[in-house]
Amino acid sequence: MTRRRWIADEVTGNAAALVGDHAAHLARVLRAEIGQEFDIATGDGARSMVRRGTIVSISDDRVEFALGKEHKLKPAPKITLALAIFKFDRMEWAIEKCTEIGVARIIPVIARRSDAHLAIAAVKRHERWQRIVRQAAEQSRRTAPPEIAAPVKLKDLAGAGVLPAGELARIVLAESLAESEDDTRLGGILRSRSSEVEVVLAVGPEGGWADEELAWFRETGWVAASLGGTILRAETAAIVATALTLEALH
């Protein structure tokens, strides 16, 4: 039977712990017992590893583990999702599912067609989004949740520290290309860039990117792509694009 995986809140040497609500869920909801074994993810990002963890103490707000042997892990492809802000219930569903699929980083983007009240409220949703990706990462047995950046305006997306450093492919999903040739569809572009190890995908809001935004993408070196002959909702496009990219990078 596959052991459930937890992402540790604290790690010191051969000991780890879950704290706060994280621990309460294991202790009170799942009724954990001393001696139970789980997989414990330690560290974050590139430094993450997974070790066998045995519960040694339990309280309502803290569960401690003794850490055992390390499990070998395959390096995961790196996908950054620049996701325009749209209706929160559907956007958060996309965030959850893209986390389960394997996206490495999510950058909420304030686009021309993002509702003004959603753009303002997005700043206060950051902590909630962090909880969503952590829970989704544990459910899908990831070693660490994706990073969730603070919301940025599109023109700031190219700013220092917003996008990952190094060589990467930058691809913007554009509805206007829905009837385009095969070589402008995402799959064709990814096949032509098979040597890329890191990809940034930009998915627009409801109604798609505005013309001036598509012009900005072209001017800053992004490649435009479509997902085929139908117009997808933003959350569907984010999930499909992430899955196709992950498969291509593997």
- Sort strands 62-71 and 10-12 into parallel, antiparallel or unpaired: unpaired
Position 236 scores a pLDDT of 95
Q: Residue 18 and residue 3: Cα distance in Å, rounded?
A: 16
SS3 222: coil
Position 122 scores a pLDDT of 95
Going by pLDDT thresholds of 50, 70 and 90, the confidence category of residue 182 is low
**pLDDT tens-digit readout, 26-52:** 888 888 899 999 988 886 655 678 888
Contact 245, 227 (CB under 8 A): no
Residues facing residue 200 across a β-bridge: 80, 170
Of residues 114 and 29, the one with the higher pLDDT is: 114
Q: Are residues 25 and 87 in the same domain?
A: no
Position 137 scores a pLDDT of 92
Q: Are residues 124 and 235 in the same domain?
A: yes
Q: Are residues 146 and 184 in the same domain?
A: yes
Half-sphere exposure of 45 (CA within 13 A, CB side): 6
Q: Are residues 84 and 177 in the same domain?
A: yes
Position 179 scores a pLDDT of 52
Q: Are residues 19 and 123 in the same domain?
A: no
Position 192 scores a pLDDT of 76
Is the pLDDT reported for residue 85 higher than 80?
yes
Going by pLDDT thresholds of 50, 70 and 90, the confidence category of residue 214 is very high
Q: Are residues 83 and 177 in the same domain?
A: yes
Q: Are residues 239 and 223 in the same domain?
A: yes
Q: Are residues 121 and 206 in the same domain?
A: yes
User: How buried is 245 (Cβ within 10 angstroms: 0-12 exposed, 13-18 middle, 19+ buried)?
Assistant: buried
Q: Are residues 170 and 236 in the same domain?
A: yes
CA 146 to chain CA centroid, Å, is: 4
Mean pLDDT of the chain: 87
Q: Residue 155 and residue 122: Cα distance in Å, rounded?
A: 17
Stretch 191-211: mean pLDDT: 83
Is the pLDDT reported for residue 76 higher than 80?
no
Query: Furthest-apart CA pair in the chain: how many Å?
Result: 60
Domain end call among 13, 39, 71 = 71
Q: Are residues 24 and 124 in the same domain?
A: no
Q: Are residues 119 and 212 in the same domain?
A: yes
Domain extent for 141: 78-249
Q: What CATH number did the domain enclosing 14 receive? A: 2.40.240.20
Domain end call among 36, 55, 71 = 71
**pLDDT tens-digit readout, 159-180:** 757 777 666 788 999 865 545 5
Instruction: Tell me how many domains the chain contains.
Output: 2
Q: What type of residue sits at position 36? A: Q
Q: What CATH number did the domain enclosing 99 receive? A: 3.40.1280.10
Is the pLDDT reported for residue 107 higher than 90?
yes
Position 191 scores a pLDDT of 78
Lowest-confidence range among 52-61, 93-102, 156-165?
156-165
Contact 86, 114 (CB under 8 A): yes
Position 197 scores a pLDDT of 67
Q: Are residues 221 and 103 in the same domain?
A: yes
Domain end call among 36, 71, 106 = 71
**Start-to-end C-alpha separation, the chain:** 26
Q: Residue 127 and residue 2: Cα distance in Å, rounded?
A: 30
Is the pLDDT reported for residue 195 higher than 80?
no
